[in-house]
A and B are shown apart, each in its own frame.
Chain A
Amino acid sequence: MKKLLIGATLVGLALAGSGYGALSKSSGTSVQKQATLYQIESIERTWHKAASFKNLNLMMSIWAPNSVAVIGGKAYTGKADIRTLFSKAGPFQPQNHWLSDTPAYKIRSTVNGNKGTLYFECHYIDIDTGKVAIVVGANLDVQKINGKWLIAHLSSSTPTLQP
């Protein structure tokens, strides 16, 4: 009986150990994914920081070299083309005092290896009037290049998300 108890205890310990190992591994993978998603969503934060401070260079720092942006009836190819797009865009005009942000419920991201997707809707608030100037959506394909997540493709979206 004593031997049986000892044996059962050992088996139980072994099962517990293996279960803990599996849980630990699963937990590690999940944490890693959360960290990656955080890095991807940092693109949205940089976007709005650049738009709010009219920092064109900062905006361009989150775009991949051969990125494409499809918006307003046109496809912009390459960073130079995209820079031109933003240089003429409302948030970057000196006369506009717009503050931009994305409500937490209006952001979606996925990751798979070195590629991912990011969707967010931007609220541009005119601080002179205190009203929302525009709301635009962006559907992005992102890619990790040289250790940094960058925008590879932008498709303009119609904002639809509600709280």
Chain B
Amino acid sequence: MINVRAAPARAAAFVKWRRLFGRADNPLVHGIARLPAKVRTKLLVSFLGIAVLLLLIALLGLRVLGQSNSRSESLKALEERAAGYQNLYTESTTFRDLLAYCAGGADVGKFLNGGRPAPGSTRDCLRSIDRTVGTALAGLGTATRLGFEPAADEAAIFGQIKGDYRALNGLVARITASSRPSLALHARAEVFADDLKIAAATLANRTQNKTDALVAQNRRAYSGSRNLFLGVGIGAIGLALLLGFVLSWSLIGPIQRIGGRLAAIASGDFSGHVDVPNRDELGDLGKNVNRMNDELRRLYRELEATSRHKSEFLANMSHELRTPLNAIIGFSQVLREKMFGEINQKQQEYLDDILSSGNHLLSLINDVLDLSKVEAGQVELEVATFSLREALERGIVMVRERATQNGVQLALESDPNVDLVEGDERRIRQVIFNLLSNAVKFTPAGGRVDVRYQQLNGELRIFVADTGPGIAPEDHERIFDEFHQTDEGAQQHEGTGLGLALSKRLVELHGGHIWVDSELGKGSTFVFTMPMGSA
């Protein structure tokens, strides 16, 4: 039958137990965490506690061993005495039995013979044992030389035994010396032999009882020691486990919470605070993490605002710069085309310089504008299906003239399985053009630039490989930063250091990524990916 009243009580007890001993956040752990002591002190105290428990167990063990050893020695001494007294008792019994053969005289014979007088005389019987009684007494005499000192409470009885033995010695001397057996002498000898035997039995029994008592005491002591050890051992283990549990969770809990908060900060979440109630180093660490969180949040907001202002400024400035620049380029081209009349050689050279510088400045402004738009989140991709192969071919066409001038071979390896992809064609072509123009620019005469693409591991990879000077490993990441150029790039006095940074942003906007595989002197291969979902 189910006790319905007991069930809620059991549930409440279970909840209480779980609250007390549940993993991390329980009153015990909280209490230890709130102790105003350093972690080192807490660890030291707990280890000292365990050491004290071990010491206690060791002391108990030594005490029990000492007692056991003492009892063993007592038992050995008792057993020696018991054996001596038992031997004395056996010899006295033997001697007494010898006397018993002829004891009682004619009455015993009549008793045994159905009440009728027995054949054979008592004297013959006595004569027959007189020959051996001396030998039996000698055996008894040997037994009386115990080989140890009787205990104080045994001395009096042993003294009586010695007295009885001396009396028996005298009587037996008279019995063996006499030519005529004497029933009276034998009867007196029986009395002394009885006394001696009773005394020997008393000593033997008493010593045996002491031995039995000591064995029983030893058994009880073992049982008590075992229970004590079990109790202390279980208690010590329980206490050590409790200490370990409480102390470890008072440390691990805060560390986990701090770790979680740091992970959130690392992922850009500055919204929360970590709650560490500890009044030790971990408490200080928690407070410092919270301070760091607040400071980072403030800096991040400032940085966001600054970046936004920068982008807005660049966008505005680029627009403001591009308007007059378009006029400069346009009118330069009009003059260059001689639409307003002939120009001399010198004027033509200056116009070419104006046009070239204007175009370079326009390209720079366009890149800055694009980059700032991307950073300001103002670029929206115009995703549509387009032919990747055609985009690559157009990119190659755009750089072919310069490649031919530089003596660089251009090649495209098409993948017949891949053609139409999804993305912003204009932005992808911008990326392709940036990579191709860089490759042509840095590849020396006689070199080559190879373009290929393929599907790999669920994504589309586009490779632009050149046989240029290569890029040092330490520059592999940095070349994708704004305004960063390699030494080679800086020597070319060409480019702005924005092309790769912009390409990286545009590829990432498409959900892909871009990197370079290169070694100095062995050329470079730029790779960017587009997720297959967009292809």
> Which A residues are closer than 8 A to B by beta carbons?
70-75, 85, 88-91, 93, 95-96, 98, 110, 112-113, 115, 117, 119, 124, 133-137, 139, 141, 153, 155-160
- Do A88 and B112 touch across chains, with their CB atoms under 8 A apart? yes
Partner of A156, one of B108, B183, B191: B108
Please give, as numbers and ranges, the residues of chain A lying within 8 Å of B112 by CB-CB distance: 71-72, 85, 88-90
- Distance of A90 Cα from B104 Cα, bound (Å): 15
Q: Name the residue on A nearest B194 (C-beta).
A: A139
Please give, as numbers and ranges, the residues of chain A lying within 8 Å of B128 by CB-CB distance: 73
Q: Is residue B366 contacting chain A, with contact meaning CB distance below 8 A?
A: no
Contact (A160, B103) CB under 8 Å given A72-B112, A89-B112, A112-B202: no
- Do A70 and B114 touch across chains, with their CB atoms under 8 A apart? no
Most buried by A among B97, B104, B111, B183: B111
Most buried by A among B100, B197, B209: B100
The distance from the CB of B178 to the nearest CB of chain A, in whole angstroms, is 17
Please give, as numbers and ranges, the residues of chain B lying within 8 Å of A96 by CB-CB distance: 114-115
Please give, as numbers and ranges, the residues of chain B lying within 8 Å of A89 by CB-CB distance: 111-112, 114
Q: Is residue B461 contacting chain A, with contact meaning CB distance below 8 A?
A: no
- Distance of A107 Cα from B146 Cα, bound (Å): 31
Q: Name the residue on B nearest A110 (C-beta).
A: B198
- Do B206 and A158 touch across chains, with their CB atoms under 8 A apart? no
Q: List 20 additional contacts besides A117-B198, A134-B108, A158-B186; criterion CB under 8 Å.
A: A71-B112, A74-B101, A85-B112, A88-B114, A90-B110, A110-B201, A110-B202, A112-B201, A113-B209, A115-B201, A133-B110, A133-B115, A134-B111, A136-B108, A139-B96, A156-B101, A156-B103, A157-B103, A157-B194, A158-B104
Please give, as numbers and ranges, the residues of chain B lying within 8 Å of A90 by CB-CB distance: 110-116
Contact (A117, B201) CB under 8 Å given A136-B108, A160-B187: yes
The distance from the CB of A11 to the nearest CB of chain B, in whole angstroms, is 31
Please give, as numbers and ranges, the residues of chain B lying within 8 Å of A139 by CB-CB distance: 96, 100, 190, 194, 197
A–B pairs, 19, beta carbons within 8 Å: A72-B104, A72-B118, A89-B111, A90-B110, A90-B114, A96-B115, A110-B201, A112-B201, A112-B202, A112-B205, A117-B197, A136-B108, A141-B93, A155-B96, A155-B99, A156-B103, A158-B105, A158-B186, A160-B187
Contact (A141, B201) CB under 8 Å given A98-B115, A113-B209: yes
Q: Is residue B254 contacting chain A, with contact meaning CB distance below 8 A?
A: no
The distance from the CB of A85 to the nearest CB of chain B, in whole angstroms, is 7
- Distance of A135 Cα from B107 Cα, bound (Å): 6
- Do A136 and B115 touch across chains, with their CB atoms under 8 A apart? no
Please give, as numbers and ranges, the residues of chain B lying within 8 Å of A93 by CB-CB distance: 114-115
Q: Is residue B102 contacting chain A, with contact meaning CB distance below 8 A?
A: yes
- Distance of A117 Cα from B99 Cα, bound (Å): 17
> Which B residues are closer than 8 A to A by beta carbons?
93, 96-97, 99-105, 107-116, 118, 125, 128, 183, 186-188, 190-191, 194, 197-198, 201-202, 205-206, 208-209
Partner of A113, one of B194, B197, B208: B208
Chain A binding surface SS class: strand
- Distance of A62 Cα from B101 Cα, bound (Å): 22
- Distance of A71 Cα from B96 Cα, bound (Å): 11
- Distance of A41 Cα from B103 Cα, bound (Å): 22
Please give, as numbers and ranges, the residues of chain A lying within 8 Å of B209 by CB-CB distance: 112-113
- Do B93 and A153 touch across chains, with their CB atoms under 8 A apart? yes
- Do A75 and B97 touch across chains, with their CB atoms under 8 A apart? yes
Q: Name the residue on A nearest B114 (C-beta).
A: A93
Q: Name the residue on B nearest A154 (C-beta).
A: B100
- Distance of A90 Cα from B99 Cα, bound (Å): 22
**Count of CB-CB pairs between chains A and B under 8 Å:** 113
Please give, as numbers and ranges, the residues of chain A lying within 8 Å of B188 by CB-CB distance: 160
Partner of B205, one of A113, A134, A157: A113
Most buried by B among A88, A90, A110, A153: A90
- Distance of A136 Cα from B109 Cα, bound (Å): 10
- Do B100 and A70 touch across chains, with their CB atoms under 8 A apart? yes
Please give, as numbers and ranges, the residues of chain B lying within 8 Å of A91 by CB-CB distance: 111, 115
The distance from the CB of B114 to the nearest CB of chain A, in whole angstroms, is 5
- Distance of A115 Cα from B207 Cα, bound (Å): 12
The distance from the CB of B343 to the nearest CB of chain A, in whole angstroms, is 140
The distance from the CB of B528 to the nearest CB of chain A, in whole angstroms, is 103
Please give, as numbers and ranges, the residues of chain B lying within 8 Å of A70 by CB-CB distance: 97, 100-101
The distance from the CB of B25 to the nearest CB of chain A, in whole angstroms, is 58
Contact (A160, B191) CB under 8 Å given A70-B97, A115-B201: yes
The distance from the CB of A73 to the nearest CB of chain B, in whole angstroms, is 5
Please give, as numbers and ranges, the residues of chain A lying within 8 Å of B116 by CB-CB distance: 90
- Do B100 and A155 touch across chains, with their CB atoms under 8 A apart? yes
Please give, as numbers and ranges, the residues of chain B lying within 8 Å of A71 by CB-CB distance: 100, 103-104, 108, 112
Q: Name the residue on A nearest B110 (C-beta).
A: A134
- Distance of A93 Cα from B206 Cα, bound (Å): 42
Please give, as numbers and ranges, the residues of chain A lying within 8 Å of B97 by CB-CB distance: 70, 75, 155
- Do B205 and A115 touch across chains, with their CB atoms under 8 A apart? yes
The distance from the CB of A72 to the nearest CB of chain B, in whole angstroms, is 5
- Do B201 and A155 touch across chains, with their CB atoms under 8 A apart? no
The distance from the CB of A97 to the nearest CB of chain B, in whole angstroms, is 10
Please give, as numbers and ranges, the residues of chain B lying within 8 Å of A158 by CB-CB distance: 103-105, 183, 186-187, 190
- Distance of A49 Cα from B109 Cα, bound (Å): 22
- Distance of A89 Cα from B205 Cα, bound (Å): 33
Q: Name the residue on B nearest A111 (C-beta).
A: B205
Most buried by B among A74, A88, A137: A137
Partner of B104, one of A110, A119, A136: A136
Please give, as numbers and ranges, the residues of chain A lying within 8 Å of B101 by CB-CB distance: 70, 72-74, 156
- Do B107 and A136 touch across chains, with their CB atoms under 8 A apart? yes
- Distance of A134 Cα from B114 Cα, bound (Å): 12
The distance from the CB of B117 to the nearest CB of chain A, in whole angstroms, is 10
- Do B206 and A112 touch across chains, with their CB atoms under 8 A apart? yes
- Distance of A71 Cα from B198 Cα, bound (Å): 19
